[in-house]
């Protein structure tokens, strides 16, 4: 197959780099969302404990 010109090649190059970027960002977002959910659950626990402790 003959080499693609710059005009025809750049969408492939961009697609490859975008695939990688999307995967890395999705991975980091999933890890971050898990930590945020944990923090929220602990905050809820705190609020519950505070309400229970109040007269």
Partner 1 sequence: MRVASRLIAAQSRPTRGLRSLALLSAAALGAGYGLAFFSAPIEADQGFVQKIFYLHVPLAITTLVGFVAGGLLAAQHLRTGDRRWDVRSYVAIHVSTVFAVAALGTGSIWARASWGHWWVWQEPTLVSFLIVFLLYACYQPLRFAIVDPERQARYASVFAIVAAAFVPVNFVAVRMAQSFTHPRVLTDTGGSMPGSMRLAFVACLGAIGLLHVTLCRLELDAKRVRMRARRMAMESERAAFAAPAAAAPAPPSAAAPGVLVAGGR
As a whole number of angstroms, the distance between CA 25 and CA 42 comes to 26
Tell me the site size for partner 1, rule CB under 8 A: 29
As a whole number of angstroms, the distance between CA 21 and CA 52 comes to 46
The answer to whether residue 25 forms part of the interface with partner 1 (CB under 8 A) is: no
As a whole number of angstroms, the distance between CA 13 and CA 55 comes to 65
The answer to whether residue 45 forms part of the interface with partner 1 (CB under 8 A) is: yes
Site for partner 1, rule CB under 8 A = 1, 3-6, 9-10, 12-13, 15-17, 19-20, 23-24, 27-28, 31, 34-35, 38-39, 42-43, 45-46, 49-50
């Amino acid at each position: 197959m003959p080499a693609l010109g710059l005009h025809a090649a750049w969408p492939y190059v961009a697609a490859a780099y975008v695939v990688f970027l999307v995967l890395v960002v999705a991975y980091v977002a999933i890890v971050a969302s898990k930590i945020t959910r944990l923090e929220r659950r602990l905050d809820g626990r705190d609020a519950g404990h505070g309400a229970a402790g109040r007269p």
